[in-house]
Amino acid sequence: MLGKSLKINKMIVNWSWREICFGQLWPVVVALTLIIASVVALSTLALRVEKVMTDHGRSLLAADLVFKSANPISTTLLEKTQQQGLIVSSQSQFQTMAFSEQKMQLVSVKSVESNYPLRGELNLTDQNQQLKHHVSPGELWLSARLFTLLDVEIGESIAIGDAQLNISGLIKDEPELIYNPFNSIPNLFIHHSDLDKTGAVQVGSRVNHRLFVNGSESALVMLQKETVLQAGESWVDQNKQGSTGGLIEKAKQYLSLTILMVILMAAVTLILTCLHYVRDRSETVSMLKSMGASRAWLRLWLSTQVFMMFVVAFVIGSFLGLILEFLLRLPLADILPEQLPSVGAQPFIFALVVALCIGLPALLIPLTRLLDAPAINVIQQQKINYTKKIWWLLLLPFSALLLFYGANKLVWMLLIGLLLLFVFLATLSYGLLKILAKLKWGPAFSLALSRINRSPRNSMMQLAALSGSLMLVALIWLIKSDLLGDWQQTIAPDVPNVFAVNISPEQRQGYLEQVDRLALPRSDAFAIIRGRITEVNEQSVSEHLGSKEELPHILQREINFTWAKELPVYNQLIEGQWTGEKTVSVEQKVAHDLDIKLGDSLTFEVNSQHFSATVNSLRSVQWQSMKPNFIFIFSEDVIIDLPATWMLSFRVEQAQGELVNQLARLYPTVSLLDFRSMGNKIQALLRQISWSLTGLASLGVVSGVLLIFTLLRLSLGERKREITLYRTLGASKKRINQTLWAEYGLLAISAGVVAAIAAEIILFSLMKWGFQLPTQLHPSMWLILPLLAVLIVLLSLSSVIKQLLKPLR
Amino acid sequence: MTKSVISNDSELSILKGISFTINAGESVAIMGTSGAGKSTLMGLLAGLDQPTSGSITLLNSTISEMDDEQRAKIRSESVGFVFQDFLLIPSLTALQNVTLPMLLRGNEDETSNNKKAKQLLQEVGLAGRETHLPTQLSGGEQQRVALARAFITQPKVLFADEPTGNLDQKTAAHIIELLFEMNKEQGTTLILVTHDANLAKRCQRTLIINDGQCQENPC
């Protein structure tokens, strides 16, 4: 029996092979191959880029994971890290006064162990310009500013608390990025073993303790799970690291979205090609049944075909995917490290799972319906009663989606949005075509419209597939552009990189004039008044927030207030107007966290003085723009009389370093915060991410366009019989040509318009609620999408037209 | 036996109480105007469809009481078909198309199947064309492959639905010659649906379907 079935299998295998190579199955295999190739290429690249981005993020963090605490690191935690085989390095950070022979200065001291940093680069240069990367016992390294502020040179000694230490050299680069111009006090490094000598750490003194941890992903997750956080303790990883962490998170979300959209496009093609195959094969199945084929035999026949299609698509798709990934990597060669992080079998497994989740329902549902084709249809067409049992297969892709993207708000927004939009837009475009058909047109257009309206289901399917793919292509490109546009503000060549703070009111005018004389592009000067928010509508903020478990961070510290006549041009007004007296404008995220609305009365405290202001507007602020930004901006009457210092930011080119020193000498009491090297680091990171995203988006667009091309060719293939019949009946080439152009041109233009509306709506939602970035209209897309659609139609039509115009033999 | 179908929510009687017997080895033509129910009758006789009432016995088995699978088994063992549209599988060669019914029957001997198929292709005048795909053959040649396919299982009953409907006169005549010749050789019962009175005359009996009734037209 076994031998018998094997023999039969061999025959069926041969047959299936011929169907795949020469029959109707090749478009299905092409679609399946495309899914696998795109998933392999995109996920391999995404994994690599993600690893590079994670490594970069971690090097800015100085470790894979950081434990922050207000108390010394507990021995329990240290034991746990030991048990998990993790590498650790401790750091204590505190502020104290440093004394040189002539001067004193408040400094931020970082006492680190010899293995610091665990990630990223610490560059220290000594007297002989020798580069060192770690701090050794007895050493003291100062940031460039401290040399001016304390008026010292390498080799001299300064006192830090009780300890007298010799200056070993200059800190050129350090890994930990702290971007806060207001709290940045110049820092220095000492070795952990010298910490006790300073006597600065006493019971009750304010010290921040950090434990840097490196190790495997699973061990890090385990460590975080097993540690119960006490008050004042927190974990920081590269995802939670302020502005750069946010950027990386957004880039990762974009990668997920792109992969999902490419898969969606391929799935549409797969379903359509498979439906096409089933329509074509129904008669064959009836014939086989009439000759006595049992259901079991037909099942074996179909499942062999499906199995073989998967094998062929997997082998070719994986290979193509790797080639694609290689090509995509070429322009990124400068950005990606020479030693590429290995990705293992993950992309292939992922591609197979995706292909199975989409392919099994897409293939098996229509193919199983083939089994219901009655034998009698071979001589007499009868209506087919399809069994519906097989629809459960649809659970596969949906469960997979839930599993993969369960918590990803963006993905669900996209999917639900897509569904709703399509129902709406399909109805709209169908109605539009119906109206068009009622108007008077030339013969070609009339024929085309009647053809579209004659088989509404088919036309709608085509329209949906075409506009869906076009919309996804537009989305992939525009989300990338919008994201990059937002980041561009950080990458732009004129972004400020030096902040001057602590300018006294008397110094203000002179300082501004000096900066202008040096021709440094600068921001306006802003008054800085430090204070707290205490009440909302005469109710303490905690009472106002009610049962919120954790109070927002902003309530736990003093923040900077300022006043202004006009709001900064780089802040976007979201709600309300910047008018009125005794008013305040609030940053929208803080307003949301503190449940503050327009018209609320807020009470603030500055130096034990209380005052109130009414909220007149909400603003969106881009903190990563490196421009002076504030949570609360008051109208000038509110706080103009309170004692304030002033601040501004300006741009200094790498070669203009001497100007910074010049300013520092002229105004020794003004603190200059030089973010040039940090700015460069952020810019490098952003450039890297931007390139990767552009590469991915291009791949997405190219595969989308290819899929649309395939769809159109399939659709034209289906029309072959009808067109050759017209031709046989004597229709001129010109007439057929015109009708085809009119039909597909109309389809392309309507699909382009539908896609543009849909893309604009989805993009708006994604930007506003998903990425939380400012939204904008994209007028150029309204033109480009229909044009792109017509162009693809032109290409696909001209590639098949000759074949279509041959008369029947 | 009767057969009616539901069309636009109303019942349409196609065959209204038909009763006849066809003996083994006989050749019978079924004639009638378009839409009279010829193809419906043939579908019922071959077990492709079920009657609304009454019973049909094929080769001593009451096929009207059998389910789909049982009827498929009888067809694979004892029934052959020739269709108006030939219905060859486009991706299979002429030889593979001919051996297909053996495959459906579960016949494992590939060598013997191929030998038999080659012999039949030779008989229908297609020696040397075994590896050709249907698209590389003319209509007449395709129908000859279909004839070879119908006879490879040495069926007890052969159903032919307008076998020459898509062919020119000369080719049609040749196909009919072949059909009757092979039928005679194998002693098969032949049931033929046709519009062609001359073709019907070559059969031993002619059944005429008219207004859902069946009349025997003695030759």
Q: For A34-44, how does the pLDDT look when each residue is reduced to its tens digit (9 = 90+)?
A: 888 888 887 88
- Burial call B74-102: b when 16+ CB within 10 Å, e when fewer: bbbebbbbbbbbbbbbebbbbbbbbbbbb
- Residue A400 has a pLDDT of 79
Q: Is the pLDDT of residue A318 over 90?
A: yes
Q: What is the mean pLDDT of chain B?
A: 87
Between B115 and A496, where is the model more confident? B115
Alpha-carbon distance of A265 to A375, in angstroms, equals: 36
Q: How confident is the model at residue B159 (pLDDT cuts 50, 70, 90)?
A: very high
Indicate whether A686 and A738 sit together in one domain: yes
Q: Do A11 and B104 count as a contact with CB atoms less than 8 A apart?
A: no
- Cβ-Cβ contacts under 8 Å between A and B: the total is 84
Domain boundary among A625, A652, A675: A675
Distance from CA of A749 to the nearest CA of B (A): 37
Lowest-confidence range among A121-125, A243-247, A463-467?
A243-247
Lookup: tokens for A137: 């016992």
Q: Do A293 and B92 count as a contact with CB atoms less than 8 A apart?
A: no
Q: Which of B42, B104, B133 sits opposite A379 (nearest CB)?
A: B42
**Residue A177: inside a domain:** no
**pLDDT tens-place string over residues A700-711:** 777 677 677 777
Return the residue matching tokens 């495959």. B103
Q: What does DSSP say about strands A671-674 and B61-62: parallel, antiparallel, or unpaired?
A: unpaired
- Residue B139 has a pLDDT of 86
Across A240-249, A360-369, A381-390, the highest mean pLDDT is recorded for: A360-369
Q: Do B68 and A295 count as a contact with CB atoms less than 8 A apart?
A: yes
Indicate whether A514 and A635 sit together in one domain: yes
**Residue range A279-298: average pLDDT?**
86
**pLDDT tens-place string over residues B76-93:** 889 998 888 888 888 888
**pLDDT tens-place string over residues A498-522:** 888 888 888 899 999 988 988 888 8
Lookup: tokens for A123: 């560059």
**Chain CA centroid to CA A145, Å:** 36
Q: Which of A8, A11, A379 sits opposite B39 (nearest CB)?
A: A379
Alpha-carbon distance of A85 to A223, in angstroms, equals: 11
- Residue B158 has a pLDDT of 92
> What's the number of CA atoms in the CB half-sphere (13 Å) around residue A110?
26
Which chain B positions have a beta carbon within 8 Å of A22's beta carbon? 91, 133
Alpha-carbon distance of B144 to B124, in angstroms, equals: 6
Q: Is the pLDDT of residue A614 over 90?
A: yes
**Residue A575: inside a domain:** yes
Q: Tell me which of A7, A18, A291 to substitute to probe the interface with B (most B C-beta atoms closer than 10 Å).
A: A291
Between B74 and A334, where is the model more confident? B74
Lookup: tokens for A10: 């061999």
Q: Do A294 and B79 count as a contact with CB atoms less than 8 A apart?
A: no
Q: Do B87 and A297 count as a contact with CB atoms less than 8 A apart?
A: no
Q: How confident is the model at residue A548 (pLDDT cuts 50, 70, 90)?
A: low
Q: Which of A4, A19, A23 sits opposite B108 (nearest CB)?
A: A4
Q: Range of A615's domain?
A: 498-675
Alpha-carbon distance of A798 to A794, in angstroms, equals: 6
- Residue A345 has a pLDDT of 87
**pLDDT tens-place string over residues A231-269:** 667 787 766 555 455 666 676 677 777 777 777 777 777
**Residue range A775-789: average pLDDT?**
86
Q: Tell me which of B70, B82, B89, B105 to substitute to probe the interface with A (most A C-beta atoms closer than 10 Å).
A: B89
Which chain B positions have a beta carbon within 8 Å of A383's beta carbon? none
Distance from CA of A16 to the nearest CA of B (A): 9
- Residue A204 has a pLDDT of 66
| H or E segment and range at residue A179 | none
Distance from CA of B116 to the nearest CA of A (A): 16
Distance from CA of B201 to the nearest CA of A (A): 23
Q: Tell me which of A20, A277, A379 to substitute to probe the interface with B (most B C-beta atoms closer than 10 Å).
A: A379
Indicate whether A541 and A609 sit together in one domain: yes
**Residue range A749-776: average pLDDT?**
81
**Residue A334: inside a domain:** no
Q: Tell me which of B15, B58, B87, B99 to substitute to probe the interface with A (most A C-beta atoms closer than 10 Å).
A: B87
Q: Tell me which of B40, B67, B108 to substitute to probe the interface with A (most A C-beta atoms closer than 10 Å).
A: B108
**Domain map (residue ranges) of chain B:** 2-218
Distance from CA of B177 to the nearest CA of A (A): 23
**pLDDT tens-place string over residues B26-47:** 999 999 888 888 888 989 999 9
- Residue A6 has a pLDDT of 42
Lowest-confidence range among A309-313, A349-353, A458-462, A539-543?
A458-462
Domain boundary among A675, A700, A723: A675
Distance from CA of A278 to the nearest CA of B (A): 14
Q: Do B161 and A8 count as a contact with CB atoms less than 8 A apart?
A: no
- Phi, psi angle pair for A702, to nearest 5°: -60, -45
Q: Do A374 and B96 count as a contact with CB atoms less than 8 A apart?
A: no
Lookup: tokens for B196: 């062609």
Q: Is the pLDDT of residue A184 over 60?
A: no
Phi-psi region of A209 (alpha: psi -120 to 50; beta: other; left: phi over 0): beta
Q: Do B73 and A4 count as a contact with CB atoms less than 8 A apart?
A: no
**Chain CA centroid to CA A115, Å:** 33
Indicate whether A590 and A642 sit together in one domain: yes
- Residue A149 has a pLDDT of 78
Q: Which of B43, B76, B79 sits opposite A380 (nearest CB)?
A: B43
Q: Do B89 and A284 count as a contact with CB atoms less than 8 A apart?
A: yes
- Residue A249 has a pLDDT of 67
**Residue range B61-74: average pLDDT?**
89
Lowest-confidence range among A153-167, A226-240, A569-583, A642-656?
A226-240
Indicate whether A591 and A640 sit together in one domain: yes
- Residue A1 has a pLDDT of 37
Q: Is the pLDDT of residue A467 over 90?
A: no
Alpha-carbon distance of B59 to B81, in angstroms, equals: 16
Q: Which of B90, B104, B106 sits opposite A288 (nearest CB)?
A: B104
- Residue A56 has a pLDDT of 66
Indicate whether A464 and A507 sit together in one domain: no
Return the residue matching tokens 């039509």. A797
- Residue B54 has a pLDDT of 92
Q: How confident is the model at residue A586 (pLDDT cuts 50, 70, 90)?
A: very high
> What's the number of CA atoms in the CB half-sphere (13 Å) around residue A768?
11
Q: Do B110 and A380 count as a contact with CB atoms less than 8 A apart?
A: no
Between A291 and A689, where is the model more confident? A291
Angle between helices A346-371 and A395-405 (to 10 degrees): 160
Nearest CA in chain B to A293: B104
Between A569 and A800, where is the model more confident? A569
Residues of chain A that touch chain B, judged by Cβ-Cβ distance less than 8 Å: 3-4, 7-8, 11-12, 14-15, 18-19, 22-23, 283-284, 287-295, 297, 374-376, 378-380
Lowest-confidence range among A156-170, A189-203, A551-565?
A551-565
Q: Do A284 and B48 count as a contact with CB atoms less than 8 A apart?
A: no
Distance from CA of A805 to the nearest CA of B (A): 19
DSSP per residue, A693-762: HHHHHHHHHHHHHHHHHHHHHHHHHHTHHHHHHHHHTT--HHHHHHHHHHHHHHHHHHHHHHHHHHHHHH
Q: Which of B72, B92, B161 sits opposite A15 (nearest CB)?
A: B92
Q: Do B72 and A8 count as a contact with CB atoms less than 8 A apart?
A: no
Q: Which of B39, B89, B91 sits opposite A380 (nearest CB)?
A: B39
- Residue B205 has a pLDDT of 92
Q: Quick one: B132 exposed, middle or buried, by C-beta within 10 A (0-12, 13-18, 19+)? A: middle
Q: Is the pLDDT of residue A785 over 60?
A: yes
Q: What is the mean pLDDT of chain A?
A: 80
- Residue A5 has a pLDDT of 46
Which chain A positions have a beta carbon within 8 Å of B100's beta carbon? 288, 291
Above pLDDT 90, what percent of chain B?
Answer: 31
Q: Which of B91, B105, B110 sits opposite A18 (nearest CB)?
A: B91
Q: Tell me which of B4, B102, B104 to substitute to probe the interface with A (most A C-beta atoms closer than 10 Å).
A: B104
Alpha-carbon distance of A367 to A370, in angstroms, equals: 5
Nearest CA in chain A to B99: A11
**Residue range A68-75: average pLDDT?**
83
- Residue A676 has a pLDDT of 74
Distance from CA of A18 to the nearest CA of B (A): 6
Distance from CA of B216 to the nearest CA of A (A): 23
Indicate whether A650 and A782 sit together in one domain: no
Nearest CA in chain A to B49: A376
Which chain A positions have a beta carbon within 8 Å of B83's beta carbon? 287, 378-379
Q: Is the pLDDT of residue B10 over 50?
A: yes
Q: Do B81 and A294 count as a contact with CB atoms less than 8 A apart?
A: no
Indicate whether A621 and A542 sit together in one domain: yes
Nearest CA in chain A to B158: A291
**pLDDT tens-place string over residues A590-600:** 888 888 999 99
Q: How confident is the model at residue A331 (pLDDT cuts 50, 70, 90)?
A: low
> Cβ contacts of residue A206 below 8 Å, gap of 6+?
A70, A94, A95
Above pLDDT 90, what percent of chain A?
Answer: 7
Q: Is A578 helix (H, G, I), strand (E, B) or coil?
A: coil
Indicate whether A558 and A574 sit together in one domain: yes
- Phi, psi angle pair for A588, to nearest 5°: -65, -35
Q: Tell me which of A1, A26, A286, A290 to substitute to probe the interface with B (most B C-beta atoms closer than 10 Å).
A: A290
Indicate whether A719 and A661 sit together in one domain: no
Q: Do A292 and B74 count as a contact with CB atoms less than 8 A apart?
A: yes
Distance from CA of B88 to the nearest CA of A (A): 8
Indicate whether A522 and A582 sit together in one domain: yes
Indicate whether A609 and A719 sit together in one domain: no
Distance from CA of B75 to the nearest CA of A (A): 5
Between B176 and A440, where is the model more confident? B176
Range B2-218 classified under CATH 3.90.1150.10: no
Q: Is the pLDDT of residue B58 over 50?
A: yes
- Roughly how many angstroms between the first and final C-alpha of chain A, as a whole number? 46
Alpha-carbon distance of A270 to A257, in angstroms, equals: 20
Between A430 and A373, where is the model more confident? A373
- Residue A704 has a pLDDT of 72
Q: What does DSSP say about strands A104-112 and A87-99: parallel, antiparallel, or unpaired?
A: antiparallel
Q: Is the pLDDT of residue A358 over 50?
A: yes
Answer whether A804's CB lies under 8 Å from A723's CB.
Answer: yes
Domain boundary among A628, A650, A675: A675
Lowest-confidence range among A284-288, A339-343, A475-479, B54-58?
A339-343
Lookup: tokens for A182: 């207001």
